[in-house]
Amino acid sequence: MVRSCWKPSVEGEDGEGSGRVDGLLWHKDLGSHVYGDFSMAVVQANTSLEDRSQLESGPFSSNHNNSNNTCPQGTFIGVYDGHGGSEASQFVTDNLFTNLMRIADEEGGMSEEVIRKAYSATEKGFLSVVKRNWMSKPEIASTGTCCLVGIICNGMLYIGNCGDSRVVLGRLERGMKEVSPIQLSQEHNVNIERVRDEVRSKHPFDPQIVVMKHHVWRVKGLIQVSRSIGDAYLKKAEFNREPLPLKYRLGEPFFKPILSCDPSILSQKLHPDDQFLIFASDGLWEHLSNQEAVSIVSNNPHHGIARRLVKAAMREAAKKREMRLTELEKIEEGARRNFHDDITVVVVFLNHKLSDNNTSQSPRGSPLSLRAPSPANTN
């Protein structure tokens, strides 16, 4: 038996609807953003859904008369894979895009530095929430989120990432007449040797900074990601003491942040052969390779493509346990986590005719703000 707990939030969709619910699966099969179509889907596995995601498209300035803004309109995609609870991922959903737009206005447009400042401002805001609630709800110090964002504007693509979510570009190889995958994001998971080396280099006097626990590499034996928003208990020593639950407390004091909120950032011009972008939490990539995901998107209709990717990952998860997908879909949240993680997918198609023709005076359709999911029992 599965229970529906979805409460998606959507504004300005021109009557297209805010998505549908099928047990633990929420999906928005097709919508329109400034530069083309998009599709979104989320499936819950944890007892409490910790993933959040959003898509914002339209004017990229709170001040429409700001002639200094070099990125007057565009599309923003965010995938936030929370851990230890949903407080951090929900906070990022509510604040990161707002911070980004405010800073872009101040700086006169989008840039890598604007993205970095937006991450920092969002982190600072969440740590303030932790401090305010420290005595009444100390466990909020142990909640955090991976944070993957994409910004498309003015012919440019910007990617920012903290954690182990991933974005993959599908690019048409004209000579081969097929679409190839190009991974655009850097991941920050200490099960990757490069990331372990990076963490150790920043903490050379701590031989226990990265340890193997339950056959998995973890920072201080606690967490797999080395960068996140939140996780205050590994950022500031003042949040790594009573009344924080004992299982999160370190045995020795620390004098500089163990985890970082600094994102890896990529910026590049869109290429005419760039077909689509797949943004997804690691729940998808645990079961599908970049090539498999790109092949699914390039060989199927736009409508429902994010849902198709989620189902493909679930089918692989079921196969690994010698089950049918229909059997897996009957398992409730909580118990479902033994088979797969929460999975969030946003597929954004790139129509270069729209991109070339778009001007600040002629946005495509009404401004769109789609945030899904938000469990109905969220306080």
Residues 6+ apart with CB under 8 A from 377: 5
Residues 6+ apart with CB under 8 A from 259: 144, 219, 223, 225, 226, 227, 228, 231, 234, 235
Alpha carbons 7 and 166: distance in angstroms, whole number? 25
Is the overall model pTM greater than 0.85, yes or no? yes
Alpha carbons 343 and 361: distance in angstroms, whole number? 37
Q: What is the DSSP letter of 54?
A: E
Alpha carbons 130 and 88: distance in angstroms, whole number? 10
The DSSP H or E segment spanning 173 is strand 166-173
Q: What is the pLDDT of residue 8?
A: 43
- Where does the chain have alpha helices with state H? 87-107, 112-132, 193-202, 282-285, 290-298, 305-320, 325-328, 352-357
Nearest to 290 by CA among 189, 181, 187, 186: 181
Q: What is the pLDDT of residue 16?
A: 46
Alpha carbons 326 and 306: distance in angstroms, whole number? 18
| Contact criterion met (CB below 8 Å) for 232 and 141 | yes
Tens of pLDDT, residue by residue, the chain (379 residues): 333 344 444 444 433 457 899 899 999 999 999 999 999 999 999 999 999 999 999 988 665 555 555 567 899 999 999 999 999 999 999 999 999 999 999 999 999 999 999 999 999 999 999 999 999 999 999 999 999 999 999 999 999 999 999 999 999 998 778 999 999 999 999 999 999 999 999 999 999 999 999 999 999 999 999 999 999 999 999 999 999 999 999 988 899 999 999 999 999 999 999 999 999 999 999 999 999 999 999 999 999 999 999 999 999 999 999 999 999 999 999 999 999 999 999 999 999 877 655 544 444 556 899 997 655 433 3
Residues 6+ apart with CB under 8 A from 315: 325
Other CB atoms closer than 10 Å to residue 205's CB: what's the count? 5
Residues 6+ apart with CB under 8 A from 286: 313, 317, 340, 341
Q: What is the pLDDT of residue 376?
A: 45
| Domains of the chain as residue ranges with CATH | 21-61+73-189+225-372 (3.60.40.10)
